[in-house]
Chain A
Amino acid sequence: MDFLNALVALSNFVIIPAIAYGSQLALGALGVTLIYGILRFSNFAHGDTMAFGAMIGVLVTWFLQSMGVSFGPLPTALLALPFAILGTMALVLITDRVVYRFYREQKAKPVILVIVSMGVMFIMNGLVRFIIGPNDQKFADGERFIISVREFKALTGLKEGLAIKTTQGITVVVAIIAVALLFWFLNRTRTGKSMRAYSDNEDLALLSGINPERVVMYTWLIVAALATTAGVLYGLDKSFKPFVYFQLLLPIFASAIVGGLGSPLGAIAGGFVIAFSEVTITYAWKKVLKYMLPESLEPSSLVQLLSTDYKFAVSFVILIVVLLFKPTGLFKGKSV
């Protein structure tokens, strides 16, 4: 019994939140990694692209709610997601046309593109604040829990409860669908293959008649879809606050780099590595250890390795360790 209780407590506080957070990070990191693979720069505006997508999601959700549309037990935001993706696609395509294309034609150094993306970051951040303001916005509706603590306890008779929020379930399902679609696209379609070819060797791809502008356009479209999905899911799971998305930039980059920049598979693995480390290191283990250890050894303190405010430090330390010992990341990424 004690073992089961420990397992349930562990799932409730560590495994489930980490899986949901890891899915969100993985989606974000996929966007960063694709931009890096195809356009060859680290996009600092990615967090704010997510915020922009989520913002449209919030606005469309509000509109749908006011029209009386709902999605039954599921959050209305899922219905809004396609519109949000379209809106973000429009924004990134305009950004690419107006801003990035010029530097691509000039063959500017990657670091210049990073600085340019800083400017884009300012603009997107300003846009989001201008349209929806800097405050917290709630837009989740529908059923709150797939299974709540009370139901679980009644069902199993265990002392510890397990709650799975609807948003956590949706996050995982949507993330799996998105990733499956992405990999199908990259591996099976002609455009996807040309994208991978372009990423592997630009000159060779150009020689075989691949149109670079087309590849770049598709990349932005996919990145917009991924970023919006990640942004809306994160906003549903936690809450929508523009500044938080900017702060997500660090764990997202850490995920992409730990997995190996330019490698989609690596981005997913990196997302989960970062999420699980953040959650386990900042979790107070007392509850779980209480069941696992004999009474005499029961810990008196919270057994929390680091306070939750230091979760950035965790992703950062992992990032540095990986960079020092395996600079190309877990899955062989680029190291240009």
Chain B
Amino acid sequence: MSDSLKKTLLFGAMALLLVGEGVFVSWNSALGILNFGLISAILALGVNLQWGYAGLFNVGIMGFVALGGLAVALTSMPPETEAWSASGGWRILAALVIGAAVVALTVVVQKKVSKGRAKLIASLVILIGGFFIYRGIFDPGVAFVEAINPASAGNIGGINPGGENYKDHGYMTIIGWIVGGLLAAGVAWLIGKTALGLRSDYLAIATLGIAEIIIAVMKNEDWLARGVKNVSGLPRPVPYEIDLQNSEGFVATAQGLGIDPVTASTLYVKLGYSLMFTAVLVLILVGAQLALHSPWGRMMRAIRDNEAAAEAMGKDVTNRHLQIFVLGSAICGIAGAMMTTLDGQLTPGSYQPLRYTFLIWVMVIVGGSGNNLGAVLGGFLIYYLFIKVEVWGPEIMTLITSGMADDSWLKEHLIDSAAHMRLLTMGVILLLVLRFSPRGLIPEK
């Protein structure tokens, strides 16, 4: 079987699965899976860039996804005007600048001052003194902002120019995607600067920690994006269902097509998202493919396969690693921003490493690390399975236990727990692929 035929067949099968979902379950559910599948595919592309091209082991994907979501909230919501006074938002901003300056100063001292006791004492004095100055300025600002109307706000808001009518400025969310990418890239640069020199499993632990810290910050810093109180009602780049249902033209068209206007409106919205996400996916995929086949991509793979040899050829390994780490993380940030847009709300409590980090790894490994099309296929397929196993699990379990007595506790327990089958299934799939087809469904050429 030729290579391109295999790819066509695999993608065709994936499309059939989605069409089957549409025909046998509902088109709403099919489009829902498609949309999240598109986002998963973008995430998988980002991770594939880091792991497949460069061999960087990043298990902090969740953190970058969350940063993307944060960026959407900070971009698309209107500013809380009351919070932006000298004793509120500006004060916090000043404190953050001072905090950054303290860290920068410590780094300079570490680099410039010659080794000895003076260096240690100077760094400690700067760090400890700086910390107290920072907290002294920061804490009152936070208290001020969080005291303003805590039930509905208590945060600094975003930069949407619309004010009261911010929902009319849906394009701001799309700007939020770009901001999400930039924010994730910035944080990735900071992490990369400190952690990329480490060996692979240290880098893994480091990124795992960073992701937990990012989530902790988002949960606890209420002034930023309301923490666990969530930011809901984010504006959308697509129309609202209710507006469509009230528009006579839309209702007439829907009825003309023989679809119930309510269903038609939800389909219309989801389809709108699908088109946007597809556009982003295609853009990133084409970019990644071009990069892979460019001299830069060949250099990356050369570094991955033999770092020492590449270094001997004069390649700057550390900087190239930093570059690709930032790029891949930025893509994860964009995907995270899109996910939050699709949800319509930012819920820091919902970020779980199994779902947002390790599941993405399953996608990349199953799809085929080092191959962009493989990553995309893996994204769709694993997300589809992740959703469907939760549905199939109880159904299969009901079938298996149908012989048991109806009031048996075991039967009840088995059916209740069947929903947890999906983690188990994901693990089994990952292990099976690693064992019998370690290069994935669509291997690297």
Contacts and interface: CB of A to CB of B under 8 A. Distances in A.
A133 B201 CA distance: 31
Instruction: Categorize the interface residue count of chain B.
Output: 35 or more
B383 to A, nearest CB: 15
A125 B428 CA distance: 12
A124 B199 CA distance: 27
B209 A118 contact: no
B208 A250 contact: yes
Nearest to B208: A250
Contacts, number: 126
Given A115-B365, A309-B216, A319-B206, A125 B201 contact: no
B152 interface: no
A320 B194 contact: yes
Nearest to A113: B201
A250 B212 contact: yes
B286 interface: no
B294 interface: no
B213 A130 contact: no
B103 to A, nearest CB: 12
B430 A126 contact: no
Contact of A119 (B55, B416, B421, B430): B430
B206 A323 contact: yes
A270 B171 CA distance: 50
A12 to B, nearest CB: 26
Interface residues of B, dominant DSSP: helix
Given A122-B426, A309-B220, A324 B194 contact: yes
Contacts of A134: 420
A132 to B, nearest CB: 9
B209 A123 contact: no
Interface in A273-290: none
B430 A310 contact: no
A120 B213 contact: no
A291 interface: no
Given A119-B431, A130-B424, A310-B213, A257 B205 contact: yes
A111 interface: yes
B62 to A, nearest CB: 12
Contacts of B208: 249-250, 253
B57 A114 contact: yes
B349 to A, nearest CB: 12
A307 interface: yes
A41 interface: yes
Given A111-B57, A320-B195, A336-B199, A118 B430 contact: yes
B434 A116 contact: yes
A31 to B, nearest CB: 15
Contact of B358 (A122, A129, A247, A253): A122
A122 B220 CA distance: 28
Contacts of A42: 201, 204-205
Interface in A286-305: 301, 305
B427 A123 contact: yes
A308 to B, nearest CB: 10
B434 A115 contact: yes
A131 interface: yes
Given A110-B201, A127-B424, 20 more contacts: A102-B435, A112-B438, A119-B430, A120-B427, A121-B427, A122-B426, A122-B430, A123-B431, A125-B427, A129-B423, A130-B420, A133-B417, A309-B216, A310-B220, A313-B216, A316-B210, A319-B209, A320-B194, A323-B195, A323-B206
Interface of B: 55, 57, 131, 139, 194-195, 198-202, 204-206, 208-210, 212-213, 216, 219-220, 353-354, 358, 361-362, 365, 416-418, 420-428, 430-431, 434-435, 438
The 8 A-B residue pairs with the shortest CB-CB distance, nearest first, are A122-B427, A126-B424, A126-B423, A123-B427, A316-B209, A119-B430, A129-B420, A119-B431
